[in-house]
Structure 1
């Protein structure tokens, strides 16, 4: 049973037509967002059960669910081609200006073996806020898209298209064939992240919390970038670093 926990994530899931089979509300919960959840569920014909604390806690498994849990069959994953075509569809309309072109250029995000569920959730939230068209994750050595990810993402996991691939190297090759340029966040020999022109179809790769992106992955990148540091600690949390680079991409494309 896959769970969505927390008031905002559940409401986002209901409003985004996510496949939900049941909503549980802890007995005694009231307020504006609770009423909004009830209304959204009713519109979609989804049953809402108000249950006592003992049963609610058994389902929530001691997680801070804010008195609301939604149940869904499974996480929906898109194919790589679905992600690619969806991102490219933004370019089918005529552009009225160069600014429009910058905003509509495809932007994908690749997570190379990120294992912390809180980091994945935070990255998905940032990805949705910065206009990422799809997120590609590795099937092995990566955090599962579970209720912790969903809650940390504040509902973004229900809005961002997610693709799970077995072989990241092959996925990168396919992206290149489709006209994407590959940018990797890498602490080795690389350029400051502000020195790259991001006004092109792009896939940004960020890597594992401790090791960064793998050497094979780095070797396949067209550009390698880093965030210059001034302190004694020479690395940022991966979710923070991802946000910095994504919003630089957004800044450049909006000029």
Structure 2
């Protein structure tokens, strides 16, 4: 089971028809979003239970909950072939591959940016990427309930499959041979790959990309947080596609 903490994430999960078993609300909670939670939960016949402060704090631990916790059944991942087929319903499919990003806050923030950018699906590595947990759910601000996610063992195997399905592979990398991120034409099926906080995408992954792109740095620090960089790249892809 997965706990969802916070008023907005819980409300977003309800509205997305997430598989929620029960919602716990601490006694004395009021406000517009609390009222919306009650209304949305009642409509979907989701049980709400009010808890005393002592019981609620025990359930919450040291998490910032804003007085609301939802219990959701474990996240259901998509099959890779199903994800690709679903993405092809878009004029220009856009998939995001996360290669070994280990910080749960970064993964959550990336999922939030991806949902806002309208990506068709996210692909995670199974063994070297942060797990989908409560921190990811909270950091995504509810976006986790709306995105399609697939877990795979090998990014390189998926790259091969995606190329066979007509995708162009774009990797984020600060290497000298990388193009500036706004110099690539993204009006095509694109799979964008972002990598580990310290090491970036793996060497073999980079070699298998059709394009490597970078965001120019103007200050003294030569790299952005991976979640910030991902947002910039995704919205550049959208900007180009919307120029038609």
Common topology (TM > 0.5): yes
User: Which TM-score band (shorter chain)?
Assistant: over 0.9
Give CA deviations for 1:53-104 in whole Å, capped at 9, x if unaligned: 22112222210011111001101111111111111023xxxxxxxxxxxxx3
Counterparts of 1:5 and 1:254 in 2: how far apart (Å)? 35
Q: How does 1:124-203 map to 2 (within 5 A)?
A: 124-188=111-175, 189-203=177-191
Provide the rounded CA distance (Å) in 2 between the counterparts of 1:9 and 1:166. Answer: 29
Normalising by structure 1, report the TM-score: 0.93
Give the CA RMSD over aligned residues: 0.8
Residues 185-224 of structure 1 mapped to structure 2, 5 A cutoff: 185-188=172-175, 189-224=177-212
1:118 counterpart residue number: 105
Equivalence for 2:36: 36
- Structure 1: which 5+ runs fail to align? 91-103
How much has 1:163 moved relative to structure 2? Answer: 0.6
Residue of structure 1 equivalent to 2:217: 229
TM-score of the aligned structures, taking structure 2 as reference length: 0.97
The alpha-carbon deviation at position 108 of structure 1 amounts to 0.4
Structure 1: how far apart are the matches of 2:195 and 2:102?
A: 10
Per the alignment, in what secondary structure is the counterpart of residue 234 of structure 1? coil
- The structural deviation recorded for 1:121 is 0.8
Residue 179 of structure 1 aligns to a residue in which SS? coil
Aligned equivalent of 1:249: 237
The yes-or-no answer on 1:67 pairing with 2:55 is no
**1:21-53 alpha-carbon deviations (Å, 9 max, x no partner):** 010001110111111111111111111001012
CA offset at residue 111 of structure 1? 0.4
Task: Indicate yes or no: 2:223 matched with 1:240.
Answer: no
1:223-247 CA distance string (max 9 Å, x none): 0001111111111000000011111
How many angstroms apart in 2 are the aligned matches of 1:59 and 1:205?
37
SS of the residue corresponding to residue 236 of structure 1 reads coil
Q: Please list every run of at least 4 consecutive aligned residues from structure 1 whose deviation after the TM superposition is greater than 6 angstroms.
A: none
